[in-house]
Amino acid sequence: MAGLVTTMGAGAMTNSIGEIRDVDFLFVIGSNTTEAHPIIAMEMKRAVRKGARLVVADPRGIWLTEIAERHLQLRPGTDVWLLNAMANVIIKEGLVNEKFVEENTEGFEIFSKKVEEYSPEEAEKITGIPSSDIIKTAIEYASTKKAGIYYTLGITEHSHGTDNVYALSNLVLMTGHLGYASTGMNPLRGQNNVQGANDAGATPIFLPGYQRVDDPQIHSKYQDSWGVKFPSDPGLNLNEMMKKVGGSVHGLFVMGEDIVLSEPNVCELEEGLNNIDFLVLQDIFLNGTSRFADVIFPGATFAEKEGVFTNSERRVQRVRKAIDPPGECRADWEILIDLANSCGANWSYSNTSEIYDEMVKDAPKFAGLSHERLENEGGLHWPCTDSSDPGTQYLHKEGIMRGKGKLMPVDYRPSVESEDSDYPLILSTGRTLYHYNAATQTRRSKGLDAKQPEAFLQIHPKDAGKRNINDGDSVKVSSRRGEIICRASLTREVRKGCAWMPFHFMEARANVLTVDEGDAVTGTAEYKVCAIEVSKN
């Protein structure tokens, strides 16, 4: 979101999911789409069946690589080298959309000088991808009219994640693949309402509608509208907050998250939780964080409450209550109102429609949305600026929302950790098809848990052979932060010198191992590059 707001003015998918089936060139990078976003992957498969070219850039072999024209199996953390080299090729081959660049962008001259330093031949040495594959991919992407880029956490969960997004955005802007159907720059959101949470202002820098809290005019507008005074300084991002737990952060409200499973360098976080003064947990099930909680509020599931969800393609949709929550469980908004009023807030909302109306009235991008419209017309894509606006299927049709797209010169910065004699392998973490995030829900499903009942580490057979490890062996995985025990899964899907494991399992927490160094802009931790050693247990 931060990268796209900077370069284009809107932090969301530029195009809609239904357009994917008509894309002629799909560049999927840092996304195991079939497992993390299976519905979107179905649209990609449809496009390939219709003749689209698919190129996958990922350190690991995934299902999509089986149907891809080309798999760019890059070394983890070297995305900027790959993307800058592609930009280098596009310029040298004369494939820049000069008219679009001149009319719709700024900064091209400085950017073009920077990517002169990133030849595909040098990129091969750093990324491990043959220069011929980099050249082919760049030419095919730039010369195909309907070309779309799709990425997710494999791009953003790095200490240089925002740089990765800038480098991707540069490719879109220099080729003009923006502002029309079946193209664009498309981050696939990590959960079903991440987009909606960001839209509502659940970030330390934005108020609703991506309006900066430190903009004096915006800040003044909201103080007048809400009738309260509040700080104009951006708050802590998640990574900063976790590092201060038990220090300058004395109290914590955790809602819908199992932080002792999902946060990096989690043993250090637990030390902070042991010293914190007060922790509130609000969730639908007990989880690993529950043992640190002073108070637990039982929330309601999606099927037990009213409201709206906004999905990855900016489509705002009504959620309708199907059943009553059990026992003392209540909808999150009801709990929060009672909590606020006990602190003297004097809130008087009677339903979710009133809350949503207040959110959109001062956010121009959402001003045309309401529960009533969504009830009558179905899902609508924002921007939707007034009650007659039908919504926006794809962004930037009438010009880039920022005014002019900003081409950002980006230098490669190595990841925080690299392999050495003590920790000679590079670990990346991610999701599987059968479990979801902290697995608070999915591991309670007997069918899903039977499909994947335990943690595993994917390791290349040659790396395993050096360590006398056989497929299925119990292994100890250690990093500079801790160690875990899990099962070895030998596969050539991972690069030699690399390993991969899911983070869903409390009994073998991958995030005991991971690095908590954050991206300079967003604070997102480096889950995708972590130096480890593996030994037979």
Over residues 26-51, the pLDDT tens digits come to: 999 999 999 999 999 999 999 999 99
Residue 522 pLDDT > 90: no
Query: Quick one: pLDDT at residue 250?
Result: 96
Helix (H, G, I), strand (E, B) or coil at 406: strand
Helix (H, G, I), strand (E, B) or coil at 215: coil
Query: Quick one: pLDDT at residue 385?
Result: 94
Q: DSSP letter for 532, please.
A: E
Burial class (CB in 10 A: 0-12, 13-18, 19+), 230: exposed
Mean pLDDT, the chain, rounded, equals: 94
CA distances (Å), origin 2, targets 11, 169, 437, 522: 7, 12, 22, 7
Q: Under a CB-based contact definition with an 8 Å cutoff, are residues 429 and 511 in contact?
A: yes
Helix (H, G, I), strand (E, B) or coil at 78: coil
Return the bridge partners of 531, or none: 426
Query: Quick one: pLDDT at residue 5?
Result: 85
| Per-residue confidence band for 525, with pLDDT thresholds at 50, 70 and 90 | confident
Query: Quick one: pLDDT at residue 338?
Result: 96
CA distances (Å), origin 274, targets 246, 250, 256, 414, 415: 7, 11, 20, 34, 30
137-167 pLDDT, tens digit each: 999 999 999 999 999 989 988 989 899 999 9
Query: Cα-Cα-Cα-Cα dihedral of 172, 176, 182, 188, to 10°?
Result: 20
| Per-residue confidence band for 178, with pLDDT thresholds at 50, 70 and 90 | very high
Q: What percent of the chain has pLDDT over 70?
A: 100
| Region of residue 166 (phi > 0: left; psi between -120 and 50: alpha; otherwise: beta) | alpha
Which residue spans within 463-518 are E strands per DSSP?
A: 474-478, 483-490, 498-502
Return the bridge partners of 426, or none: 498, 531
Q: Under a CB-based contact definition with an 8 Å cutoff, are residues 120 and 89 in contact?
A: yes
Burial class (CB in 10 A: 0-12, 13-18, 19+), 248: exposed
Instruction: Return the closest-CA partner of residue 441 out of 279, 221, 285, 238.
Output: 285
Residues in the chain: 537
Output the furthest CA–CA distance in the chain (Å, rounded). Answer: 68
Average pLDDT over residues 80-95: 97
Token pair, residue 461, equals 């057979």
Query: Quick one: pLDDT at residue 398?
Result: 87
In the chain, DSSP finds a helix count (H) and a strand count (E) of 20, 21
Q: What percent of the chain has pLDDT over 90?
A: 88
The pTM assigned to this predicted structure is: 0.94
Query: Quick one: pLDDT at residue 524?
Result: 86
Q: Under a CB-based contact definition with an 8 Å cutoff, are residues 284 and 302 in contact?
A: no
Helix (H, G, I), strand (E, B) or coil at 189: coil
Token pair, residue 531, equals 């130096």
Angle at 268 between CA 262 and CA 271, to 5 degrees: 110
Rg (CA), the chain: 23
Residue 293 pLDDT > 80: yes
| Per-residue confidence band for 349, with pLDDT thresholds at 50, 70 and 90 | very high
Q: Under a CB-based contact definition with an 8 Å cutoff, are residues 331 and 319 in contact?
A: no
Q: Under a CB-based contact definition with an 8 Å cutoff, are residues 200 and 34 in contact?
A: no
Strand order in the sheet with 315-319: 307-310, 315-319, 380-381
Cα separation, 520 vs 416, whole angstroms = 12
464-511 pLDDT, tens digit each: 999 999 999 999 999 999 999 999 999 999 999 999 999 999 999 999
